[in-house]
Amino acid sequence: MTHEYLAPVPAVDAAEVPEPGAVTVVVPTYNESANIRRLLRLITESVPARLPCEVVFVDDSTDDTPQVIAEAAQDCPFPVTVLHRDEPTGGLGGAVVEGMKAAASEWIVVMDGDCQHPPSLVPELVATGQRTGAGLVVASRYLPGGSRAGLAGGYRVAVSRAATWLTKALFPRRLRGISDPMSGFFAVRRADLTADTLKPLGYKILLELAVRSRPRAVAEVPFVFQERYAGESKSTAREGLRFLRHLAGLRTASPLARMIGFGLIGASGFAPNLLGLWALTALGVHYLPAEILANQLGVAWNFLLIEQLLFRDRRAHRRWWDRLGRFALLANADLVLRIPLIALFVHRFAMGALPATALALVTTFVLRFVGTEALVYLPRRGRAARRAA
């Protein structure tokens, strides 16, 4: 990843401006050249007169957006910086994290570059944080006085509502006090931010921040979501899938949640297993080799889901064929180990066949989960030591 830094223009003298605190406005951009001049003009009209600010654009564009920012920055009474990324790691969320790391102010305000977030609200976000002692202040469309009027069409409104309901249902404790977890407009106190713990995927960075690094105190202010000034929305079906993967990764971050997810995925593997067994026996294959072959379909199904939903952020430790081979070995060893365990429970501990089978299933499940995490997805000690060095 390469960064391109544009020289900042002179800032307003902070001593001349009575204000609650300085702010860095972080704006992630992707082909927003038509919106840049208007956005900087709106910031100029509403922010510097109330508190000193700087603007950091983190740009993943393939058009002339960086050049337009450089030209428009010459008329701004505050520093403007562009960090251009050749590799947009983490999508929009990754861009925001890059901007947060580059921020030099006490407060960081994150907003979109399409003018749907009103810059006039930036001083109020910071002032609310200063007044209440909050470390995170969210601009919410769902408070009295707020509105999602800028969402174009009933489809986007329905998707936004569904995403809000889903996230609040999955994270009721972490999102307590946040009525609009899908908001992309918020302020965070830099002292309350632990950017290194964030693992953004896609464009819902507030959700990532609230779940992984939530400040103890949170406040909200209402805002009216504006219509896009120019260009097209970046919300696509692909971004929706990334959002769902992100949700799954956040929800399964704890070992217990991963184990539950591992069990649910394993249970879902019975469907391709049984379907394959039915197809093979219908073709005349003997049931024993048919069961062995059909079990591999379940193994493949489980591997694909576990890769995408449980251990997506750990896949870089080994090559895919290495992970698949180890996972398949553990999954098939489960079958080999289960029968001796059942025999042990029945003959050594005088258990009935049914409870012995249930206990063997639980035992092999736990062993398979621990083995999968330790032997497939944890980094090798030598490699981890080399990376640390």
The pLDDT assigned to 196 comes to: 61
- Sign of the C-alpha dihedral computed for residues 174, 177, 182 and 184 taken in this order: negative
Question: Alpha-carbon distance 121 to 139, whole Å?
Answer: 8
Q: Which of 269, 373, 259 is nearest to 326 (CA)?
A: 373
Helix (H, G, I), strand (E, B) or coil at 140: strand
The pLDDT assigned to 138 comes to: 92
Question: Alpha-carbon distance 235 to 46, whole Å?
Answer: 28
DSSP string, 189-251: EGGG--GGG----SS-HHHHHHHHS--S-EEEEE-BPPPPSSS-----HHHHHHHHHHHHHHH
DSSP string, 37-60: HHHHHHHHHHSTTTS-EEEEEEE-
Rounded to the nearest angstrom, the gap between the alpha carbon of residue 204 and the centroid of all alpha carbons in its chain is 6
pLDDT in tens, the chain (389 residues): 433 333 333 333 333 333 444 899 999 988 888 889 999 999 999 888 888 899 999 998 888 889 999 999 888 999 999 998 888 777 777 888 888 888 888 899 999 888 889 999 999 999 999 999 898 999 998 888 887 766 655 656 677 777 777 777 777 777 788 888 888 899 998 887 765 666 655 567 788 788 777 777 899 999 988 777 665 665 556 666 666 676 766 666 667 667 777 778 888 877 887 888 888 888 888 877 887 788 788 888 888 888 877 777 677 778 888 888 888 888 888 777 877 887 888 888 888 877 777 787 778 788 888 888 788 877 665 554 344 44
Which residues lie across from 308 on neighbouring strands?
none
Query: How are beta strands 136-140 and 218-222 bridged, if at all?
Result: parallel
The pLDDT assigned to 14 comes to: 35
List phi, psi (to 5°) of 181. Answer: -65, -15
Residue 319: CB atoms within 10 Å: 10
Residue type present at position 195: A
The pLDDT assigned to 18 comes to: 34
Question: Alpha-carbon distance 59 to 113, whole Å?
Answer: 10
The pLDDT assigned to 372 comes to: 83
Residue type present at position 387: R
List phi, psi (to 5°) of 277. Answer: -65, -45
Q: Which of 389, 384, 340, 329 is nearest to 363 (CA)?
A: 340
The pLDDT assigned to 187 comes to: 92
- Residue linked to tokens 């919300």: 235
- Residue linked to tokens 């001049």: 37
The pLDDT assigned to 279 comes to: 87
Q: Please, which residues have CB within 8 angstroms of residue 84's CB and are 6 or more apart in sequence?
A: 2, 3, 4, 59, 60, 61, 66
Question: Alpha-carbon distance 53 to 76, whole Å?
Answer: 11
Tokens of 115: 């003018």
Question: Alpha-carbon distance 112 to 205, whole Å?
Answer: 12
| The domain made up of 14-251 is a member of CATH 1.20.120.10 | no
Task: Show the CA angle centred on residue 106, arms to residues 225 and 33, nearest 5°.
Answer: 45
Q: Please, which residues have CB within 8 angstroms of residue 284's CB and are 6 or more apart in sequence?
A: none
The pLDDT assigned to 167 comes to: 78
